[in-house]
Structures are given as C-alpha cells and as structure tokens.
Structure 1
C-alpha cells in the first residue's frame, strides 16, 4: 500500500503520511478478521468527518478493559487459524530432500539478499546458481 501511495503522491508522499497511516490502520486484515484500529479500540473508525459528532459513545473503566481483552482473545484465535491455513498451503509443496556425497545440486539464492554477486539484481536475477558437487564435511 505504501508503494502505491508513493507513486500517487510522487515527490511529496511524506507530507501525506497521516493519510497513509489512516488507510493502513483502517484496512481489513484477513488474518485477524478486523482492522487494526478496531482491534485496538474495539469500535470501527469512521471517516474523519464523523469524528466530532455530539453524543458519541465512550467506554470508561472495566467495560473498556473487558472489551479489549475480548478482542485480544478473538484476534489470537483468528491468528492461529490463519497460521494453520498458511502452513497447510506451504506444506503442499514442501518435501524433505536427502543428499549424498558426489550429488550435483543447484544453490538457491534470495533475489534481495546478495543476488548482485551473481550478476543482475532484482526480478531478472538468477534464482539458482551452480551446479555444485556435495563433498564430505571437513
């Protein structure tokens, strides 16, 4: 989202940082099932136009603590569900590999962490380098 705002606001995106922060805090997160603002304060955040309306409900004392604790419990449950769902997606492609001496292998490199050593940087950088032969540990 920040990248989109940087392109939209061109050179003065830092002047619009409060708007970016507002958008991030009020966007729905599927892992917790609510917005970060709603998780923190227990209510949905309306647009800034409606912030100063008369008769707004405020929580004071034990009701606020109870509401926040209930939200924390709900968020923990939803994060566990999201974590197990993501783990199941990842485990579909994962498999244990067994290597033996004198096998030839490719070395997988991270595009952001040092692909520059192997030529191009970024999307066009190689994902694997090699082949390397597995030798006994010294």
Structure 2
C-alpha cells in the first residue's frame, strides 16, 4: 500500500503516478470535480505514448499493434451528434493540453537557462566532484556538516554525451562513475 506521505512502492510506480497526476491537472476543470471522466482518455494516452526507455508504447508491446486514436477519426462526417460533440471536446482538450505543456516547458526553460553554462571537458582532464548530502562513500570524516562539499580531483576517462562524462573513481567509492556536468 502506498500513500502520499509514505510511498511504499518502487520508484517506477511513483513516477507513473506523478505523470498521471500531471496529465489529470491539464484536463480537469477549475473545481477539480470531473477528473473521473478523463481517466479512460488518460489511460489511452499513456498506453499509446512511446517511452524513452523501450522505444515502444505499452499498448504496442502488449498487443502488437497501434490502436486507432479517437482524434484520427474524422468527426466532420460523423452522423451521431453525441460522438461528434465528444470528438470536438476531445480535440479542444488536446489542444489545451499541448498549449499548457508548451507554456510549462517555456517557463521551466526561462528559469533554468540563466543558470546553465556550456562546459566541455576532454578525456584526461581532472575535475572535482560535488559530494551529495546523503553520500556515505564519498564523504570523509565523522561529522557530515564539516565534510568537504567537493572531492577529487578525478580524471575524466571518456565523454559519453553532450553533458555526461565517465570518471576514474577509486574502487572503494562504490559510486557509479558516470556524471552530469552540472
């Protein structure tokens, strides 16, 4: 059993719950009383979205084909008025969600970009590593408050991506050797 204050599930389930909460937030009214109406649509949207880890969407992996989206069905030639209204409402909600996501991304970019800097290293250079607050293996000394904030210098063994590097750490560190520039 998992609650808000005491999450008792794995991290993947917690992350899925966060994604579904964000998706619900984009759809519900200001009163937040109609969220149950959108669960089936959100389930469809989540299960038909390609995941970065697998490269496939869950529906494709379970059933072997991609389902037809309600938005792919033309509602102009639809003769049943209730279906036509549903599809029009669905398209409006999707456009609203897209605008909300774009606004959120732009807002996050606005606050994050001033703090970013373009830093590049090459193999063989030495860098300092910021010690996380809860690190047991990289801290030195008994008192956590008096431990240094940075340790090293460590040699860069290779560049893995635009912002990720692999460091040559001591075998006693028990830390995964790949780090982000930030």
Larger helix percent: 1
Higher relative contact order (CA 8 A, sep 6+): 1
Q: TM class, shorter-chain normalised?
A: 0.3 to 0.5
Larger strand percent: 2
TM-score by length of 1: 0.45
